[in-house]
Structures are given as structure tokens and as C-alpha cells.
Structure 1
């Protein structure tokens, strides 16, 4: 096992030089290739070398498809040589979360489902491939999307830390749950973007813990593939992990839109998410909540400091021309019902069976929360909050939480403190983004911007305004 980095988390690297390819945005790489300032093969070789250098320490890849990436890069350069117009992601390297299907590559599912080679691309993967992206392979998931392997009685087996992704801010810590390898790769400058998936916060939370951007779109905006199995509980979407909000908007745009193969995909063409992304926030109405009226019951020791930091950052929108109004609305605690829904979906996983009463109470709570948000969004454009009231945890603490029985589900109150700010928007199918907004004890903290279904353009506009006004130039020690 590699020795973890012992440097103080958050020391980071100095602000990157303008010509440092590892920190270029996807847009900048695409444009440089289109102008023939650099070739797709040169870019691909550069990021493959980054993988060789850093992956032994960070474990971000489940499978690195070198031959496939180089072949795609050569094809991209040949296309330009023939005078063909480049796609919106032409020549840009990426990798895909391990359980999102990539044709010909082995992927995992949640829990103890065996790995299998995908027969076809996920629809989102199909679209970014057609847009010219160079797919490097699959990114590792912390515990294959949850904990370790399901062991029965609501517990998980110990994690294999020789294979799990590590946080580039301090490799003794996790980069978040589930879309962990992609988040660590983007944070460490190993990729300009990655594709994750989010069923309770699994793009936004790794993004927050790793100091990058993670986006969860409206359910149905990006068509889903059923992974040759029944659909999991509502609200799982694929989404981008990036360092730049504009990149997140671009990549979401590429993947979005109806597809007749998915009857649950939204049947209208999406907005142009980049058309007004630079318009600023003057006149927009933002709500702020510390804890949605219930998440304080899951508070961690550092939660008051996290909330105070993010609250102060949210107030900065007033200086950009928006209004920020604190809401005292008390939403229903969705965690028991939401976890019951997940447990019911995996009846053979050895987890405690939820009661019908708990499931019913959860659905009723969801309905009441929908009504409260419907009322809120009549007077506000977005709601701001911390992405998580925790910061990243040491690997031994993380493992202990998942291998010790909780009150009713794996992780127990630890799970509540981790994703109680994010999971509500999955269950309600609302879009939300996490953007980096500062540090606590040297570790990144995320600001979440959420809105009603279909408000992607507004969310990107708000997030971009903050990132342009208050850029985070710190880089992690492992990069």
C-alpha cells in the first residue's frame, strides 16, 4: 500500500501558470486543438502521463483504456486534417464513473452486484463521444458506489484502500462517496472533466470534498440507460465533474435532450445553458437556508463552522446585484423515508427491511416538501445552502461509520450529516450544483445552488457569477 501524503491539507500549490495544461478548461483544450495549437494526440499523451504519475497514489481509475484513448485521439486529429468541423468536446480527455456503462469496459453496480463488461454506452456517454471527447476509461467509485461489499445485517465489509480513490488535498482522507475517482482526478489536474452520477449527492458531494464543481440535472434531462436492471429510486442522474462552471454547462448541454429509447426522458429540447451564463445575477432572488429546518439533528462537530463560512459566501451575491433572503421554512426530514426507499430497492442485499409505514411516511414527507419548494420558488429563483455540513473524513473514520450498525440503515446518522442537504433534491428531481467556496481546517467546502425543475440555465448563471467574482486558485498538494 502506498504511504499517504502527510503534508498539511490545504497547503496546496501556488496559482497555476496560464500555460499549464493540467488546469486548462475543457473549452480551452477544445479551442486549442481546433486552432491546431496542439494536437489531440499530444493532449492525450500528456494526460496519460499524468495518470502514470499520480494514479499509484490517488487510485482514480478502475480501468485505463490507453489504446482506445490514443486511437480516438488519432481519429480526432485526422478529422481536423480532413477539414471536418470539430465537435463541442473535440479532443478533450475524460473518464466515466465505473457504474455508468461504457461499451467494452468493465463496470460495477451498487452493492454486491458483480462487475460486467458493458454492451453499449450510456446515452450521455454516447453523446459526449459523438461530441469528440476522448474517453480514457472508467473512474473508481468509493466502495463501488456505496460502502464496501454488502455483508448483511445492514453492514458493509471493510474497504480495500489499495484500490479506493484518495483525496488529493490529503491522501489520508476520502474524496467523497461514489463518484470519488472522477472528483479526485479533476481536482488533481489528471482530467479536465469527468462524468459521475448522482443519486443522493454523488456528484455534488465529491465535488465539495475535492474543491471542484459537480452538477446534478433535472431528472430526465439526460436520458438514462436501465443498466439491464430495474430503475433505482427516482432521482439518479449522470452529471459532470469539472473545475469550471462553464464546462459543466457545456457538458450538460451535450448530454441533454430527449431520446426515444428512454420513455422517461424529458420530451422537450433544453435551453441553451451557455447563452446567458455571463449575464450576472443582478435582479435575481436567492433564498438561503442554514439547515432546511431539520438537518441540524445530523450535525457534525465542524458543522457550525461550515455553515457560517458558506453563509458568508452566499451573502456575497448581494454585492453582485442579487438579493439574498434567509428562509425560516422547516422542511420534513426525508432521510428515514429516503433510506427506506433504497433498502426496499435491494431486498436481497442483506439490509434491514423497511416497514411499509416508514416508506409511506417518506412519500408523504416528499409531497409536503414539494409543496413548500413550489411556494418558495414562486418568490425566489434559487435556494443557496452548504453542499454538506461535513468536511472530508479520514479513511479510518469513514470506514468505521459504514461498518458499524446505524439506527436503521448503513452509516446511520453519519449518512444524515453527509448528504441531508443534497438528497432532498434527488428525491424531488430538482437540479442543483456544488461550487467550491472556501476551506475549513484546510479542506474544501462547497456552496450548493438549487432550483426548480428545468432551471439549469439560471443555476449555471448564478454559479458562474460567483466563480468569476471569487475564483478559487488553490491547488491540492497531490497534483
Structure 2
């Protein structure tokens, strides 16, 4: 941000640690703290985990309370947990954090045993569907594909059944639904900052002001229609889980960007200022430019939003590193409420392909 400056990836300080919980990811990877809080509304536990060589589990909707001030964060898309170096630490913290607060909209049945104990049991033989192509038909880096394929071979050696398969859903519709939520949340938070803290328009960065305008000018029926579409993705994923225990795919579609690489170019900044001056939000929605924004903003991380809109658990596991020493995470997703099996599989993979020694090398570099 302009206020605080760049947050840097400990594995390569010329690169971003991802986001939005990038500071947490960088701090844990660098050994400043053993774990750090993170919240995931579109991948913000799993993306920093992947970029920083950490383990990151996004729990199921309702597993950890958002209360008392909030019933469901981001209408159920966002949930809190932590990023850690080990599966054990994440499981132990889930035992501490899991459970409802008074007045929560719904509760999930607790696990059969504490997660810290469940993860010590070997998982049953699992049937896992694997895919590596982006649901938005955007480019996926070779390193991200290689990490998934190598993980698939490891899974087969561990006795799991692996085959190419993916949930069937409209990827572009998912992108629109996610960004519609994002626009609305940003505009609401901006209004709250103005009302409660006296913020002015100039206190927000240009990109934030533009996103806020798009949120305020989205027709309410469009927002409701997109929120209702979440059910389509949940049903499609549910149908997939009728035949598979999990899915495996890249966590991110690209390696972490260089610092400054994602800055809005000057000509687009001028266009954004003109849109704000003309209050052209409705025109932007009608023009189809939002679809282009969706592709540009989600192209690097197209694999994580599905778990948010469906409320299902998903995790990023640090199982690969590039030749240059950058971590590459792979993502597993499971049915709603099945964090236990995810943690068991993660612990099995951690034992088969341990990554903790990588941190010792990183600390030596730092």
C-alpha cells in the first residue's frame, strides 16, 4: 500500500508474499512468529501459504465463528484461521478456534476427535480428482502444473487413487459472482470508514475508490442474482464429490509477482480518475469492462474462489520449489465439514515429502 510500502517475500525479497494476508505469510516464513492469523475470502489463507512455503487451511463455512459483531463474513465467503509451518500447528489452532458463538447463523457438527489427534491417523485410501487448467481459461505457469503432477505421483505411491477430473461449472460466472461480492464489500467498508472514522475520499487509494464506485453502482437485482448463483457452484461441487473424496489442483496460477509488477499503469490510472469524475460506474457495468477486470485481477489466482463461494474446506500444501528456490503450493479441496481428512492427508504428505528443512535454509539466507 502507499501508506505502508511493499510487503516482501522472504524467499525472494523482490517478490510479493501474496495476499491479502501477505504480512502473516511473510512473518511466519521468516520465522518472526510460529503462526499468524489470516482470513480467506477469495484465497487469502491459501495464496500466502503457497507463495511463502507454508501450510494454509481454509476451514468450512461456519467452522470458526465470525462473531460477535458479524454473523457471516462476506455473506459466508470469508473465514478466519492461520498460516503455519507445520500441519500439526494448524490442526492444534483449529481445535482452539473452532466452534460457534451465541447467535451464529448455523453450526457444524464437531469432529469425532480433536483435530490434533485426528491428523495423527493415516487417511483412508482416497479417490482424488486432479485438474491443472484454470477455470477462467487463463494461463497457468508450468511450475504450478508440474507441482500438481508430481504430487499426484506421490499420492499414487501412498496408495491413493488419482485421475484427471474436475467439477463442472461456469468459470466466468464464478468470477463475476466473486467480484460482485468484492465490489459490494469494499464499497460498504468505505462507507463505514467515512461514517465511523471520518475518512474522506482522498484517504483511499485510487484503485479502492474505483472498486467502491463499482460496488455502489451495481444494480441490486444483479447483486442478488449473483448471490443466488452461489448455489449453482455448490451443487456442481457436490456432484463432483459424489464420485471423488477430494480434488487436487494448483493453489495459484502463477508464481509470485515482482514488487510493483501489478501496479496500475499510468494510463489506466488516468482512465480510473475520469470514471470517478464522471461517476461512470453504471456505464462500466453495462460496457462489459467488468468481465475484463475480472480476468485481469483473478488471472494469477484462479483456483481459490470456488471454495469460498461454496463454503467448502481447502488447503494449500508446500510440496514443491522451483529451481530458483521459490515455493509452489498445491491445493486440495474436500466436502463441507471434512477438515479432518484434509489434515490427515496433509500430515501424510508432510511425512512423505517433508518441507521443514527448507525453513532452515531460508533462515540461513536471512
Q: Same fold (TM over 0.5)?
A: yes
Work out which structure has the larger RCO, using CA pairs closer than 8 Å and 6 or more positions apart in sequence: 2
Contact 2:129 2:165 in 1 (8 A): yes
2:261 is matched with which residue? 397
Inter-CA distance 460–361: structure 2 relative to 1 (3 Å threshold): same
Q: 2:233 aligns with which of 364, 369, 388?
A: 369
Please state how far the C-alpha of 1:265 moved relative to its aligned partner. Answer: 4.7
Please state how far the C-alpha of 1:269 moved relative to its aligned partner. Answer: 3.0
Instruction: Tell me the distance in 1 between the aligned counterparts of 2:293 and 2:327.
Output: 22
For residues 181-330 of structure 1, the aligned pairs below 5 Å read 181-225=23-67, 227=69, 231-260=73-102, 262-266=103-107, 268-271=109-112, 272-291=114-133, 294-295=135-136, 297-299=137-139, 303-330=141-168
Inter-CA distance 288–240: structure 2 relative to 1 (3 Å threshold): same
Inter-CA distance 266–316: structure 2 relative to 1 (3 Å threshold): same
- Specify the SS of the correspondent of 1:316: helix
2:298 is matched with which residue? 416
Instruction: Tell me the distance in 2 between the aligned counterparts of 1:358 and 1:419.
Output: 24
Q: Deviations over 1:291-311 (max 9, x none)?
A: 36x23x2225xx233123322
Cα RMSD between the aligned structures?
A: 2.7
Contact 1:332 1:365 in 2 (8 A): no
Q: Deviations over 1:251-303 (max 9, x none)?
A: 0111001221x4225153334223332333452211112136x23x2225xx2
- Specify the SS of the correspondent of 1:299: coil
Instruction: Tell me the distance in 1 between the aligned counterparts of 2:72 and 2:240.
Output: 34
Q: Give 1 or 2: higher helix fraction.
A: 2
Inter-CA distance 298–362: structure 2 relative to 1 (3 Å threshold): farther
Contact 2:128 2:245 in 1 (8 A): yes
1:351 is matched with which residue? 213
Q: Deviations over 1:56-84 (max 9, x none)?
A: xxxxxxxxxxxxxxxxxxxxxxxxxxxxx
Q: Deviations over 1:97-119 (max 9, x none)?
A: xxxxxxxxxxxxxxxxxxxxxxx
TM-score relative to the length of structure 2: 0.78
Aligned residue pairs total: 316
Contact 2:111 2:340 in 1 (8 A): no
Please state how far the C-alpha of 1:396 moved relative to its aligned partner. Answer: 0.8
Contact 1:221 1:258 in 2 (8 A): yes
- Specify the SS of the correspondent of 2:261: helix
Instruction: Tell me the distance in 2 between the aligned counterparts of 1:194 and 1:410.
Output: 34
Q: Deviations over 1:422-455 (max 9, x none)?
A: 1110111101111112123432111111111110
1:172 is matched with which residue? 14
Q: 1:431 aligns with which of 313, 336, 356?
A: 313
TM-score relative to the length of structure 1: 0.61
Instruction: Tell me the distance in 2 between the aligned counterparts of 1:161 and 1:338.
Output: 27
Instruction: Tell me the distance in 2 between the aligned counterparts of 1:319 and 1:375.
Output: 27
Contact 1:222 1:265 in 2 (8 A): no
1:381 is matched with which residue? 245
1:467 is matched with which residue? 350
Instruction: Tell me the distance in 2 between the aligned counterparts of 1:357 and 1:444.
Output: 42
Runs of at least 5 residues in structure 1 that lack an aligned partner in the other structure:
1-147, 149-158
For residues 45-124 of structure 1, the aligned pairs below 5 Å read none
Contact 2:42 2:305 in 1 (8 A): yes
